[in-house]
């Protein structure tokens, strides 16, 4: 069955710095999703990546998908405090089931 | 358009009891999925409903059951509650086939505590 691993699990970074969160998955999955979750809140959809080489950007976040390497990345540019949250990637298993990673807890320090 | 709404937001139950959680899907969405998120973990797929029938299930025991109604709202029922059932339960909706392309819309969740 599809397995999804994220690293790092915890990330503390200074404002203004850049960093990348990695999402590896174990078997073929041509769809990859990124979600953000604030403490005690639900999941907010960030990116839907549907094909090899897909790259999407929204503000300071950019996500990419390499299906051959079974790798997706979420790159943070010039981090600001408002980006502090937990970020999840999820692969699609079949047509309906998401398999989530354990999440990366990001804390941006002023 | 309204989003996915879940009720109640918080719930405390005693071990061995039964609980029902409710979800109203986003307007126009006919598919509902339920996920369990334990503290510090990623959400885990419980099951999905489409056209009032279960059309996919994760690794959860039969005491986790559900329903979908003609208006596409849904219930999650858990019998014989165990302490490990304490978690945030998330409902997600989509239009058939669109969930894969656009991603699911998640509700705010129900925080269940079993004591």
- The pLDDT assigned to B97 comes to 65
Q: b/e map of B41-72 (b: 16 or more CB within 10 Å)?
A: ebbbbbbbbbeeeeebebebeeebbbbbeeeb
Peptide bond into B8 cis (omega under 30): yes
The token pair that represents A39 in the structure block? 């403490």
Nearest residue in chain B measured CA to CA from A51: B101
* Residue B99: band (very low, low, confident or very high) from pLDDT cuts 50, 70, 90: low
HSE of B67 in the Cβ direction (CA atoms, 13 Å)? 9
Q: Mean pLDDT, to the nearest integer, of B6-12?
A: 96
pLDDT digits over A48-63, tens only?
998 888 999 999 999 9
Instruction: Report helix, strand or coil for B84.
Output: helix
At A17, phi and psi to the nearest 5?
-90, 165
Nearest residue in chain B measured CA to CA from A31: B100
- The pLDDT assigned to B98 comes to 64
- The pLDDT assigned to B85 comes to 98
Task: Give A43 to chain B, closest Cα distance, Å.
Answer: 6
Report CB contact under 8 Å: A102, B42: yes
Nearest residue in chain B measured CA to CA from A29: B100
Report CB contact under 8 Å: A95, B42: no
Report CB contact under 8 Å: A96, B109: no
pLDDT digits over B34-81, tens only?
999 999 899 999 999 988 999 889 999 999 999 999 999 999 999 999
Higher pLDDT, A30 or B12: B12
A/B interface, count of CB pairs below 8 Å = 59
pLDDT digits over A80-107, tens only?
999 999 999 999 877 778 999 999 999 9
- The pLDDT assigned to A93 comes to 79
Report CB contact under 8 Å: A50, B101: yes
């Amino acid at each position: 069955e599809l397995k999804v691993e994220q690293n790092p699990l915890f990330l503390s970074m200074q404002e203004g710095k850049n960093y990348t969160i990695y999402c590896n998955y174990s078997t073929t999955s041509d769809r990859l999703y990124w979600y953000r979750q604030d403490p005690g809140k639900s999941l907010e959809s960030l990116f839907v990546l549907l094909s090899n080489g897909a790259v999407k950007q929204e503000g300071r976040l950019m996500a990419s998908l390499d299906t051959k390497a079974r790798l997706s990345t979420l790159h943070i540019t010039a981090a600001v405090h408002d980006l502090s949250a937990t970020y999840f990637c999820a692969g699609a298993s079949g047509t309906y089931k998401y398999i989530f990673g354990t999440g990366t807890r990001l804390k941006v320090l002023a | 358009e309204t989003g996915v709404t879940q009720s109640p937001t918080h719930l405390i139950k005693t071990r061995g009891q039964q609980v029902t959680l409710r979800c109203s899907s986003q307007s126009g969405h006919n598919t509902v999925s339920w996920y369990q998120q334990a503290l510090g973990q990623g959400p885990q797929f419980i099951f999905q409903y489409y056209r009032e029938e279960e059309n996919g299930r994760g690794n959860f025991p039969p005491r986790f059951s559900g329903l979908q109604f003609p208006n596409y709202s849904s219930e999650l029922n858990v019998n014989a509650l165990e302490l490990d059932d304490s978690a945030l339960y998330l409902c997600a909706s989509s239009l058939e086939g669109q969930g894969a392309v656009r991603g699911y819309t998640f509700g705010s969740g129900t925080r269940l505590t079993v004591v």
